[in-house]
Chains A and B, each alone.
Chain A
Amino acid sequence: MRRTGIAETCIGILILALLAGITGWVYFAQSLFDPGFYSVSLREEGNGSYRKNSLPSPGSGPASALIPENLIPMGPEETFDSETLSDKIDGKAELYLSSGFVKLRARRFVSKADPKSWLELFIYEMADPTKAFSVYSSQKRKDSKPVDLGVSAYATEDALFFTNGPKYFEIISASKDLGEAMTSLAKNLVEAEPKYTEQQTEASLFPLESLDESSISLHMSDVFGFSKLDRVYTASYGVGVAQVTAFLSKRESAQEAADLAAAYGRFLLENGGVEAGEIPGAPDSRIYKVFDTYEVVLHRGKFLAGTHEVDNMESAKDVASRIYGKLEEAGR
């Protein structure tokens, strides 16, 4: 074997020493993990009660003409962007941030007659009317009552919620005595802006018979636990004593609707479902029995539709076949 020269040996030892040094440094450095390092601005912004709420922005709040006479502002308007939204609503920020949130404006008003009666107006500006409807409908309270504002709206005993175009509004009161003031403020806000009445075009394809119109909701992602299912409207039907949840989603193409229906069907089969036939006269439909409930999945043109987790197979078929018929009509 050829013997190595002294120079070669020295260079080899030097390289090995360098590599050993790098290894030691990496080992040492990884033990110094500091989460603060990843919050670059932490030190600049202070360690303590860091809040980046916007500065008051006088003049940018609702015009004084929109404020009912019996209310006066408690303070300036606050504004929040996507970076600061959690400074206002904490963990619920994720709901908005994942749905095209742009900006939040909030302001409190107090009753002239009773300083203990106050309300807070939240105006969420979203990327488009669909996303605004999504955050509106996904938070819909049970036992609420519809409010006639000419847009999607409902009220509870201490709050009023509505959406108009790309904006979602909440009026939350500290007192149950401010119902009239809330309604009046809401009407003024709706009238001050163009009305968007076309925002629920897809939802209008739900057959009206036995439909609970106030139940219509839009879900943006991970619908029914299936990651590929997004932008889905749901609605509740009362069929006899049975409650049926129907769903409807418009896709980019008929092929996408068919592929998604097949993929969702496979998802059901992989999760304990078995095929249980199809709807008579609807060749693009499949019925699945998933444990003790029935799921109908169908597609027609660009639409994917069906019923979800229905206890009674006949009720599921009834609603699904009516949706199929409605989609056929719409396709003509």
Chain B
Amino acid sequence: MRNISKDHPPQWEMNRRDFLIRSAKAGITLGAATAIGYLLYDPAGPGAPVEKSSVALPDFSVPEAGRKIAIATGDDRIKTVNAALKALGGIECFVKKGDRVLIKVNAAFATPPSLCATTNPELLAEVTHLCFRAGATAVAVTDNSINNPESCFALSGIGDAAQSSGADLIVPRESLFSNITVPGSNFIRNWPVLFGAFHGVTKLIGIAPVKDHHRSGASMSMKNWYGFIGGRRNIFHQDIHTFIKDLALMIRPTLVILDGIFAMISNGPTGGSVSDLKQTHTMIVSTDQVAADAAGSALLGKTPADLPFIAKAEQAGAGTSDFEALSPLRVSTG
């Protein structure tokens, strides 16, 4: 028996029952905290709510046209693009009377057309003519180029081609950019996009060359939308494949035209010599941008699996990488 001094209050001692009760409570608390953490864990990372105030880009696809792809072979861009469009039913299936068409070119660099680092001006002029012949009331051409836009449009020949064929040239300026958030996107959240170029536009056509790209492995239809992005966009090079997927989610085009008559197979995306080019004799026209890029990858000696952005875009629902499943319409211009 213990002696309890009157000068000191009795000390509480934990008995076995108390110990078990407290241990059980502590265990339940820890277990509950862990379970809550597990339930709240989001493996996809933080998601931003779509800002109700932000603008959104329309869907320019033509639902009744469905998902189609045509692959024309030959040496002449004019003949092959016409043949591919004819195989798809003609440009009239996509551009109707009264349409206002925006053509997104690749005018990233102030380089000569011979380097094929930018959209071929003759191809641009032909597509513009075709749009007008189909009844378009206006055709505009734009790109937020990497180098100075005026120099890019002038030296690439795109400016002259646009103007001589009757298209309006939209040179990016501050007032044309608005912040947008793309649902399902990892990076295009409250980010400036060349939104003003879409004002009144009812159809969107992308025309891009097939190029090697030091960072992403390839620059084709989906990467071409990079030229709609403003701000300090080079930060997205750190996760380029995910960003290209975001671009494919942002833009739902009427058509993409992938120019592989020559492909820049090395030292892309700028190239620097005709020695970086290979004649690959192919023009791809598709309503499915993922399928177009999957088909274009072979022109660079790659497979779709070599280019992670293709699988990412497909998983995000932007199209299919199995372009053969679309039963490509193959034509030759001899």
Contact = CB atoms under 8 A, between A and B. Distances in A.
B234 A86 contact: yes
Interface string B9-38: 000100000100100000000000000000
A87 interface: yes
Interface residues of B, number: 58
B273 A35 contact: no
Contact of B232 (A30, A41, A159): A41
Interface in A1-42: 1-2, 27, 30-36, 38-39, 41-42
A158 B273 contact: yes
Interface in A69-106: 86-95
A49 B213 contact: no
A174 interface: yes
Interface in A169-227: 170, 172-175
Contacts of B191: 35-36
A262 to B, nearest CB: 32
Interface in B169-183: 172-179
B30 to A, nearest CB: 14
Interface string B259-295: 0000000111110111110000000000000000000
Interface string A128-144: 00000000000101111
Q: Which interface residue of B144, B232, B275 has the most chain A CB atoms within 10 A?
A: B232
Interface string B213-238: 11110010000000000111111010
Interface in A145-184: 156-159, 161, 170, 172-175
B177 A48 contact: yes
B148 interface: yes
Contacts of B190: 34-36
B232 A39 contact: yes
A94 B235 CA distance: 12
Contacts of A139: 266-267, 272
Contacts of A51: 148
B232 A34 contact: no
A280 interface: no
Given A31-B49, A47-B231, A159-B273, A174 B155 contact: yes
**Which range holds the interface residue count of chain A?**
35 or more
A90 B49 contact: no
Interface in A266-283: none
Given A36-B191, A157-B275, A172-B272, A50 B112 contact: no
A33 B174 contact: no
A22 to B, nearest CB: 13
A45 interface: yes
Nearest to A47: B192
Main secondary structure of the interface of B (DSSP, over half): loop
B230 A49 contact: yes
B146 interface: yes
A128 B231 CA distance: 33
A91 B232 contact: no
Nearest to A38: B235
B89 interface: no
A331 interface: no
Contacts of B215: 91, 94
Contact of A31 (B21, B46, B268, B276): B46
A292 B204 CA distance: 49
Contacts of B189: 33-36
B208 to A, nearest CB: 14
B273 A141 contact: yes
B216 A91 contact: yes
A93 B175 CA distance: 29
A301 to B, nearest CB: 35
B214 A47 contact: no
B46 A33 contact: yes
A142 B273 CA distance: 11
Contact of B111 (A31, A144, A161, A172): A172
Contacts of A92: 214, 267-270
A46 interface: yes
A312 interface: no
B25 to A, nearest CB: 12
A175 B144 CA distance: 26
Nearest to B49: A31
A91 B214 contact: yes
B40 interface: yes
Contacts of B155: 118, 174
Contacts of A172: 111, 115, 272-273
B299 interface: no
Contacts of B179: 47
Contacts of A87: 146-147, 234
A243 interface: no
Contacts of A175: 112
A91 B275 contact: no
A148 to B, nearest CB: 19
Nearest to A39: B232
A95 B214 contact: yes
A2 B12 contact: yes
A17 to B, nearest CB: 15
A42 B276 CA distance: 35
Q: Which interface residue of B45, B155, B215, B234 has the most chain A CB atoms within 10 A?
A: B234
B187 interface: yes
B108 interface: yes
A157 B231 contact: no
B237 A158 contact: no
B174 A48 contact: yes
Given A36-B191, A42-B232, A172-B111, 10 more contacts: A30-B46, A31-B48, A32-B48, A33-B45, A35-B187, A47-B178, A48-B174, A87-B234, A139-B267, A144-B275
The 6 closest A-B pairs by CB, nearest first: A174-B112, A47-B192, A48-B177, A141-B275, A91-B215, A33-B46
